[in-house]
Amino acid sequence: MIAEAVIVAKAKRKPPDKSPGTWKEPKKFLVILAHPDDPEFFCGGSLARWAGEGHHIDYFLLTCGDKGRNDENKDIHKDDLSKIRDKEQRAAATVLGVKSVIFLDREDGLLIADLELRREMVRIIRQLKPDILITCDPQNLFASYGLNHPDHRAVGQAVLDAVFPAAGNDLFFPELLEEGFQPHMPSEIWVSLTRQPNVTLDITDTWPLKIKALKEHKSQIGDPHEFEENMRTEHTKDSTDDNPRYEEKFLVLTYD
């Protein structure tokens, strides 16, 4: 309990420095989210910026997106839809400069933040050893589009539960040691899709790349022109349609 209390004390719920999102040396990022297209929607502008600055970014997506249907693709079988969304996600990641996309291939809509899923999160954290870990906020029941997807909340809970106390502690999931995965603790956790941000990044410069990447998700966005026009309205309240400014917000935890 004493050791755990020390770790808790070191977690700071504040920006890592005066220029959050900026590092002097290349960092390794791991983005763990639920569905194909989540990374681009939640933080695509920031990811494009970081990739452009030379940081290494990997995706670990928990579901295959086999239930992401709308009226335009309602006749597509879920197995075929899963293959389509895999291809779309890889194309979108390439646009942003992401190095790899790994799928856990769980069924869409059925994620539960249980011990099995937590073990998977610990395994991938120990395997890829990220400096910066990105996920989403498990407390966010409501999003701008209405009710937040339960998979979003489940993945956020599983990831945060994996970070503390398990990822950096060899007494948790000792079977992973037998697989060769040594304890590892990311230095920063960036929580997206949150209503309690402490970091706001201006992504105006990389907004076009975010939109280009999102337009690769053809099975999800409908008419691409209408989609882009709708997205353009997401500019900050202190900017205009003629001179828009765009932001992405995070809750950042740092571990010194």
Range of the domain at 177: 27-236+243-255
Whether 227 is in a domain gets the answer: yes
Whether 5 is in a domain gets the answer: no
Mean pLDDT of 92-110: 97
- Asked whether 51 and 31 are in contact (CB, 8 A), the reply is no
Paired with 146 in beta bridges are 143
Whether 8 is in a domain gets the answer: no
Radius of gyration of the chain measured on its C-alpha atoms = 18
Mean pLDDT of 130-136: 98
SS3 of residue 126 by DSSP: helix
**Tens digit of pLDDT for each residue in 157-203?**
999 999 999 999 999 999 999 999 999 999 999 999 999 999 999 99
- Asked whether residue 6 carries a pLDDT value surpassing 60, the answer given is no
CATH number at residue 152: 3.40.50.10320
Residue 8 is predicted with a pLDDT of: 46
Whether 16 is in a domain gets the answer: no
Q: Which two tokens stand for residue 219?
A: 């099975």
Whether 87 is in a domain gets the answer: yes
pTM for this prediction: 0.92
Whether 61 is in a domain gets the answer: yes
**Tens digit of pLDDT for each residue in 197-230?**
999 999 999 999 999 999 999 999 999 999 999 9
Q: Residue 108: CB partners within 8 Å, gap ≥ 6?
A: 35, 63, 64, 65, 66, 67, 68, 151
- C-alpha pair distances (Å), 223 with each of 191, 213, 218, 220: 30, 15, 8, 9
**Helices (DSSP H) in 97-172: which residue ranges?**
115-128, 150-161
Whether 21 is in a domain gets the answer: no
Whether 36 is in a domain gets the answer: yes
- How many domains, the chain? 1
Mean pLDDT of 93-114: 98
- Asked whether 119 and 102 are in contact (CB, 8 A), the reply is no
